[in-house]
Structure 1
Amino acid sequence: MTEWIFDRDAIRSFRFVASRLDTQTGEVALEYRFDDGPVLIERLRIPGAPFVLDGARAVAVGRALDLLHWIAGVSYYKAAVPAEIVFESSQPGLAARGLLGEVYRLGLGEFAYRNRIDLAVRLNFPVPGPSPVAAPVLGLRRQALVAIGGGKDSLVSIESLRALGVDQQLAWIGSSQLIAACAERTGLPGLKIERAIAPELFEFNRQGAYNGHIPVTAINSAVLALVALLRDCDQVVFSNERSASYGSTIEGSGEVNHQWSKGWQFEHDFAALLRAEVAADLNYYSLLRPWSELAIARQFARIDGYDRHFSSCNRNFHLLGERPAERWCGVCPKCHFVFLALAPFMPKPRLVSIFGRNLLDEPQLAAGFDALIEYRDHKPFECVGEAIESRAAFAHLANSPAWREDALVARFRDEILPQLDASGLTLEDQLQPAGAHGIPFELAGKLRAHFSA
């Protein structure tokens, strides 16, 4: 038998082969393949097995497993982006097919831009299968399964839920020691979900596969929806803010959103599909959706106890594990933005102590901060706030005795601010909640009061 060789441009089909859950061990297997190549198996392990599933719960778990299988396939599909997509086992109905089209087209927006691929031409899901019967009410236990990522946002959600008396347990995917340490610091019960990408994918990358950013939050959301059903939780809670819905405006390409699956469109459509086709009483939402990054930074600054544990620096995390380095690299867009967002709300010595340096007094970092305010550059392809938020933070610091003489603040005040429209450049303008959200009614009012206190 001739050995199958990955040839990106010769591949014609991507195939969803099968998905399995072993209720005795909690192991999940998701299978894919290109053409007649080897079966690619992604594996997860969900703690708490064995799981006993009754009739309605078993059906809901099966549908959640299908949804995870379809969404997680984006990690593999992108390696070749073939025109034909085949479902060899379960077939998505009309609503699920619509969601998948969004996840693969918009969630791969940055990937497509960087690789110069027209997904509108190449992405071709087949005709949908029959729509499933309406999801039942399962009587899930009132408990929030909260995604923790080790950064300020999820910690704000966790402490807000604690203050409001909401029963919660934490969950994270992968083996990050930083996330585990943050979870332990909360004092709340936590679940580490193991995930192993099919090893063949790394070999495909060495053989010329397309590579780039994928909608990780969409995958993690599907994982936690399955976990919630197995662990009997009625809520899956993420910590995505209002500004996640807005991308980078690229001349000639329009808007490209690095964090599309953190935005409101995905949240709304994924939550609706879960309620309609998986479990009618399973709620999925972002607790922080109405607020800006600056409002969340203000809330985090009010919290004690995490300064030495949290990090939003993405260089701490990558597919093959965690970097054994300092928690803040100081040179990536996430470090720049988090420092800038926290500066209006934290005493300067505290913030400098967290980062180990004053990033706003390093002239060589000017280009990175210019991108944050969309001055001579577009917003970085990173999970950072809108340009108006960064401009408002700079404008506030320009009037602060503690910060105004630092190199980049002084440069903003003297060189950049005179060129900008000053409307909306006050912190107060950026701190008010606004926009659509999916926060349950009984929480929304209490949460708004909590943030305003």
Structure 2
Amino acid sequence: MTAFDKHQVACFRFVRCDFAADTGVARLVYAFDHGPEMVETITVPGAPFSLSPERAAAVQRALQLLHLIAGVSYYKAGVPDTVAIDGYAIDAETAALVESIYLHGLGEFAYRNGLNLRGRFRLPVAGEVAPAPALGLQPHALVAIGGGKDSLVSIEALRRAGVDETVTWIGGSQLIRACAERTGLPTLNLGRALAPELFELNRKGAWNGHIPVTAVNSAIMVLAALLQGVDQVVFSNERSASYGSQIPGTGEVNHQWSKGWAFEQAFGRHVQRYVAADLQYYSLLRPMSELAVARQFAKTDFYDAHFSSCNRNFHILGERPVNRWCGVCPKCHFVFLALAPFMSKARLVRIFGRNLLDDLDQAGGFDALLEFQDHKPFECVGEGKESRAAMATLATRPDWKEDALVKRFCNEILPQLDANELAVEPMLELQGEHRIPARLWERVREDFAA
């Protein structure tokens, strides 16, 4: 590959996308200027697929939407001022959705790299869009699993509600596979191979950083649902995901924007209007806080030896086979703290292999969760008020209050807080907007409230 000067790139091109029903492989092709093509592949098991003309048309609409959304991985390498779509035309509604995903989903990327992306990514509009028809999809849910507690709570809630489901994940993680197999439900492992040229660009000094991966995974699963002929794509994003990091002088930057309500609402509505009228995209946990999810998870120990929310176990270039919990990252800190009020200390320490709250070297990490002298980490963790309430609860428990970080919280942080805002119970209430189908919501609401 010739030298890549990110400051000299003029145009990012969505070159073309195609899907082969006989192999189940989608190809997403991108390029900068007239440089070499970058080809990403998505593989959906179950080929060959026999598609009616109506479903084939919906697959094509979903494929183009995926092409546009997945392009964020490549666009960010150069962040040029001009964007072109070579192979097809899009309408204003699709352009607005994708532009929003790039702007907000690259918020952390822009902040860390000192870039202003507002108004920079603009898609050419050259067509109208017709409302999508219903396809007669079968009642069945593809449920995304990431190996953590949240998706397992959704999977078990759907099981109790009598919803037929397939546990679905993207990529080759053996940890996620083991967790999925533990459910005893049908599984679907979707393949995603990024273009190798992207990693070469990164080595040559391209812009790099966090992307809205949940948006990409959502688009992949919508494509898979249409190929499988099923009517639901289910994620497990709680209402806390809509709350970002408050950065002095900058404002809110949300690491997990594509797990938030704004994305779910816009993407789900777009899929039903313009891709397939009877394909429902929703998060089953949207009305819940992280603490409410933790309480729900703690009700069974069936997954204690299998789940992990530690992101150090997952890497874009492959899984890093370490212990399921590193014990030092923000995810480990938060999951430990969130679960602590709802399960025995012995059980929690057995899961993590040690007591993270009895280690003063971890003080800085927990301070960030508490939003004490630091902002919320750029990670998929709960709100600061949830962490403060959880820590305040532990401060009243005889088995926790003598641990180093709980004792430090009592002495240094608690006196500065409003005691009226430290109760856990109000945070366990189901509230807020969601896209859960009405009949299903009636079934799961009592389950979650119990």
TM-score (norm 2): 0.99
Checking the alignment, whether the CA contact within 8 Å between 2:6 and 2:206 is kept in structure 1 is yes
1:349 aligns with 2:346: yes
How far apart, CA to CA, are the structure 1 residues paired with 2:389 and 2:140? 37
Show the counterpart of 2:209.
212
The Cα of 1:185 is off from its aligned counterpart by: 0.3
Note the alpha carbon deviations across 1:404-439, whole angstroms, 9 max, x for none.
111111111121111011222111011001111101
The Cα of 1:222 is off from its aligned counterpart by: 0.1
Query: Counterpart of 1:8 in structure 2: which amino acid?
Result: K
Aligned mate of 1:333, from 330, 355, 374: 330
The Cα of 1:121 is off from its aligned counterpart by: 4.7
Aligned pairs (5 A) from 1:354-393: 354-393=351-390
The Cα of 1:212 is off from its aligned counterpart by: 0.3
TM-score (norm 1): 0.98
The Cα of 1:228 is off from its aligned counterpart by: 0.2
Show the counterpart of 2:428.
431
Show the counterpart of 2:401.
404
How far apart, CA to CA, are the structure 2 residues paired with 1:39 and 1:214? 21
Query: Counterpart of 2:83 in structure 1: which amino acid?
Result: I
Aligned mate of 1:172, from 158, 165, 169: 169
Checking the alignment, whether the CA contact within 8 Å between 1:313 and 1:335 is kept in structure 2 is yes
The Cα of 1:206 is off from its aligned counterpart by: 0.7
Show the counterpart of 2:299.
302
Aligned mate of 2:15, from 14, 17, 21: 17
Show the counterpart of 1:81.
79
How far apart, CA to CA, are the structure 1 residues paired with 2:89 and 2:333? 44
The Cα of 1:4 is off from its aligned counterpart by: 3.8
How far apart, CA to CA, are the structure 1 residues paired with 2:90 and 2:350? 51
Checking the alignment, whether the CA contact within 8 Å between 1:4 and 1:38 is kept in structure 2 is no
The Cα of 1:133 is off from its aligned counterpart by: 1.2
Show the counterpart of 1:45.
43
How many aligned positions are there?
Answer: 450
Gaps of 5+ in 2: none
Checking the alignment, whether the CA contact within 8 Å between 1:135 and 1:278 is kept in structure 2 is yes
How far apart, CA to CA, are the structure 2 residues paired with 1:6 and 1:49? 38
Aligned mate of 1:30, from 28, 31, 43: 28
Aligned mate of 1:182, from 179, 182, 190: 179
Show the counterpart of 1:134.
131
Note the alpha carbon deviations across 1:269-294, whole angstroms, 9 max, x for none.
00111011110000000000000000
Aligned pairs (5 A) from 1:192-211: 192-211=189-208
Note the alpha carbon deviations across 1:11-59, whole angstroms, 9 max, x for none.
1000000001110010110000000000000011100000011111111
How far apart, CA to CA, are the structure 1 residues paired with 2:150 and 2:205? 36
Show the counterpart of 2:6.
8
Show the counterpart of 2:244.
247
How far apart, CA to CA, are the structure 1 residues paired with 2:308 and 2:401? 26
Note the alpha carbon deviations across 1:324-357, whole angstroms, 9 max, x for none.
1000000000000000000000100100000000
Show the counterpart of 2:288.
291
User: Judging changes above 3 Å, is the alpha-carbon distance between structure 1 residues 121 and 277 closer, same or farther for their aligned structure 2 residues?
Assistant: closer
1:395 aligns with 2:392: yes
Query: Counterpart of 1:47 in structure 2: which amino acid?
Result: P
Aligned mate of 2:219, from 209, 222, 238: 222
The Cα of 1:122 is off from its aligned counterpart by: 2.9
Percent sequence identity is 62
Checking the alignment, whether the CA contact within 8 Å between 1:313 and 1:328 is kept in structure 2 is yes
Show the counterpart of 2:117.
119
Aligned Cα root-mean-square deviation (Å) = 0.8
Aligned mate of 1:69, from 64, 67, 70: 67
The Cα of 1:131 is off from its aligned counterpart by: 2.3
How far apart, CA to CA, are the structure 1 residues paired with 2:190 and 2:280? 20
How far apart, CA to CA, are the structure 2 residues paired with 1:124 and 1:224? 25
Show the counterpart of 2:103.
105
Checking the alignment, whether the CA contact within 8 Å between 2:430 and 2:449 is kept in structure 1 is no
Show the counterpart of 2:445.
448
Shift >3 Å, 4+ stretches: none
